[in-house]
């Protein structure tokens, strides 16, 4: 039986390392590989939303940098998180043409964890930005996001490589993991320790699922950049692009 989509795309979380997703997508398109459906979590949900909205990788890059979408982190000490996502929702709504999942040009799955019911939740309809915000809310670092009376956090807690929705409906699945974890030093801030601990906890999510991908992309160079390092966005984009070109060589 023929599957519904030729190419499906999985986008992992990874903070500002997510710019590597854009470089990788650019390389895929240059090789005439055009994903028709996207499953993303955290940073992958942000990039996935812009791509599913019909925007080109380099245009998305320019938008994210010019509007400083990921420079929303202000250090505060609220009851539910160490940092506040100031202006995130407003900027996302102003940058995306689609307001709801149903308005996107291609289907998108966004994942978050319902911390009330302890369920890994897939969003695919309704308010787009609220789901992305929930999917991107790193625990402890950011406060939970409330949707329909339930509290949600970053889906990467449970699965930072959400390939499962695509395996039965796509002929080929392309996976991009921008969260390789290597050695790190100078870990001396509470927020840095929290972020590092979070990413260490999900380092194996892609590893145990990558064999289900027909094309697997993991640019190791991005591990030298911090996950909230907006200044390195262009270098991260380029790392994703160059690595994907290498992966796609005959």
Which has more pLDDT, 70 or 97? 97
pLDDT value of position 130: 95
For the segment 146-158, the average pLDDT, to the nearest whole number, is 94
Among the residue ranges 24-33, 67-76, 225-234, the one predicted with the least confidence is 67-76
Closest CA to 63 of 91, 87, 39, 40: 91
Residue 143 pLDDT > 70 = yes
Instruction: Kindly state the percentage of the chain with pLDDT values over 90.
Output: 65
Task: Look over the chain and give the mean of its residue pLDDT values, rounded to a whole number.
Answer: 88
> What pLDDT does residue 73 have?
44
Cα 53 to the center of its chain, rounded Å: 15
**Phi, psi angle pair for 52, to nearest 5°:** -65, -20
Would you say residue 81 has pLDDT above 50? no
Torsion angle of the four alpha carbons 97, 216, 235, 195, in this order, in degrees rounded to the nearest 10: 80
C-beta of residue 108 within 8 angstroms of C-beta of residue 40: yes
Band (228; pLDDT cuts 50, 70, 90): confident
Report residue 32 as tokens.
Answer: 């005439």
Q: How confident is the model at residue 126 (pLDDT cuts 50, 70, 90)?
A: very high
State mean pLDDT over 84-108. Answer: 88
On the question of pLDDT at 77 being above 60, the answer is: no
Q: 186 or 82: whose pLDDT is higher? A: 186
pLDDT at 55: 97
| Share of residues in the chain with pLDDT > 70 (%) | 86
CA angle 159–160–162, rounded 5-degree value: 70
């Amino acid at each position: 039986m023929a599957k519904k989509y030729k190419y499906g795309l999985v986008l992992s979380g990874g903070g500002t390392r997510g710019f590597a997703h854009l470089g990788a997508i650019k390389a895929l398109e240059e090789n005439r590989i055009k994903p028709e459906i996207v499953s993303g979590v955290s940073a992958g949900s942000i990039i996935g939303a812009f791509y599913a909205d019909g925007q080109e990788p380099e245009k998305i890059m320019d938008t994210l940098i010019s509007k400083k979408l990921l420079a929303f982190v202000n250090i505060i000490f609220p009851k539910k998180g160490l940092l506040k996502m100031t202006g995130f929702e407003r900027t996302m709504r102003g940058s995306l043409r689609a307001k709801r999942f149903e308005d996107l040009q291609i289907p998108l799955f966004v994942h978050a964890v319902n911390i009330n019911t302890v369920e890994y939740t897939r969003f695919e309809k309704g308010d787009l930005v609220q789901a992305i915000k929930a999917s991107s809310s790193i625990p402890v670092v950011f406060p939970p996001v409330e949707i329909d009376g339930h509290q949600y956090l970053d889906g990467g807690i449970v699965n930072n490589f959400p390939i499962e929705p695509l395996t039965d409906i796509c002929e080929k699945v392309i996976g991009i993991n921008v969260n390789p974890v290597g050695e790190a030093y100078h870990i001396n801030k509470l927020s840095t320790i929290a972020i590092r601990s979070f990413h260490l906890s999900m380092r194996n999510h892609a590893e145990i699922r990558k064999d289900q991908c027909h094309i697997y992309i993991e640019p190791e160079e991005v591990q030298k950049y911090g996950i909230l390092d907006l200044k390195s966005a262009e270098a991260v984009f380029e790392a994703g692009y160059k690595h994907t070109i290498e992966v796609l060589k005959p």
